[in-house]
Amino acid sequence: MAPNTDSPDKPVETTHFGYKDVHVDEKADLVRGVFDSVANRYDIMNDLMSGGMHRLWKRYTIQHANARPGQIILDLAGGTGDLAREFARIVGERGHVVLADINAAMLEHGRRRLVDAGIAGNVELAQVDAEALPFASNTFDRVSIAFGLRNVTDKEAALAEMHRVLKPGGKVLILEFSRPSSAIKPAYDLYSFKVLPLLGRLVARDPDSYQYLAESIRMHPDQETLLGMMQDAGFERCRYNNLTAGIVALHTGYKI
């Protein structure tokens, strides 16, 4: 966040919404508007934008979670429920999964998809703010967040909350777009700022939201910066694995 001033005596905190500077109190509503707009077409757009690769990235995350039957898992910014669905199958009837998101429209879409997949009984939905989680400390065996951290206003606060609600020995998994290798960056930038908004216009009829998503990726901390932020939040044994030449990275860490 960057400080700004309305007057010499009244500092105003700003943050980024894509490439724009906005007041910190405005970002959550702006992000909510983006996902309200794209919720019904979110899954098909994910497939088009990534060429289906997002399914492989999420499968990789599930594999690295090493979840077990009977565990309790929080999937933050879980949207349409891709990770929650797989976690629910792994933890079984003795376990429990909380699919959490700040956006009601995304949660409703996720609820419908879970019902269609026959997932019931061990999953609950919760509309929450990642910066102030309404869960007791030391509750979850795993906390995951896929493609959601970059939309959070105060990432340090969200990381601290993830650490707080994890049980000792618990694992956090952060799947997010990151900084690609220099070899593919020109092509990646061309795709992000030309093709992606075009897909948004043709398929979702919302080019502005997908322009924001492209910009938000560029404003997100790179791999090493996020690693340091996790360590500052108290996570240990932190590491990251680059996927698809660093377009996406999976960061993991533990609460000891």
Residue 209 has pLDDT above 80, yes or no: no
- Give, as one character, the DSSP assignment of residue 69: T
Q: Is residue 201 domain-resident?
A: no
Same domain, 119 and 165: yes
Q: Which residue has the higher pLDDT, 9 or 50?
A: 50
Mean pLDDT of 148-162: 94
- Enumerate residues 6+ apart whose C-beta is below 8 A from 247: 177, 178, 180, 184, 188
Q: Is residue 225 domain-resident?
A: yes
Using an 8 Å Cβ cutoff, are 125 and 99 in contact? yes
Residue 148 has pLDDT above 70, yes or no: yes
Segment among 33-47, 54-68, 106-120, 128-142 with least mean pLDDT: 33-47
> pLDDT, tens digit, for every residue of 40-98?
666 666 777 778 899 999 999 999 999 999 999 999 999 889 999 999 999 999 999 99
pTM, full prediction: 0.84
Same domain, 10 and 105: no
Side by side, which strands form the sheet with 248-254?
Answer: 123-127, 96-101, 72-76, 140-146, 166-177, 248-254, 236-243
Same domain, 48 and 130: yes
Token pair listed for 158: 């969200």
Mean pLDDT of 145-170: 96
> pLDDT, tens digit, for every residue of 13-46?
877 655 556 576 666 665 656 556 555 666 666 7
Same domain, 18 and 138: no
Same domain, 31 and 85: no
Q: For 32, how many CA atoms within 13 A lie in the half-sphere containing its CB?
A: 14
Same domain, 55 and 16: no
Q: Is residue 166 domain-resident?
A: yes
| Confidence category of residue 8, pLDDT binned at 50, 70, 90 | very low
Using an 8 Å Cβ cutoff, are 150 and 227 in contact? no
Same domain, 31 and 139: no
The CATH number of the domain holding residue 96 is 3.40.50.150
The predicted pLDDT at position 31 comes to: 60
Mean pLDDT of 167-195: 93
Number of structural domains in the chain: 2
Same domain, 50 and 30: no
Q: Is residue 68 domain-resident?
A: yes
Same domain, 150 and 227: yes
Same domain, 63 and 22: no
The predicted pLDDT at position 141 comes to: 98
Q: Is residue 169 domain-resident?
A: yes
Give residue 132's domain range: 39-181+213-254
Q: Is residue 174 domain-resident?
A: yes
Mean pLDDT of 223-235: 98
Q: Is residue 198 domain-resident?
A: no
Q: Is residue 137 domain-resident?
A: yes
| Confidence category of residue 5, pLDDT binned at 50, 70, 90 | very low
Same domain, 17 and 68: no
Strand segments (E) across the chain: 2-7, 10-17, 20-23, 72-76, 96-101, 123-127, 140-146, 166-177, 236-243, 248-254
Same domain, 48 and 83: yes
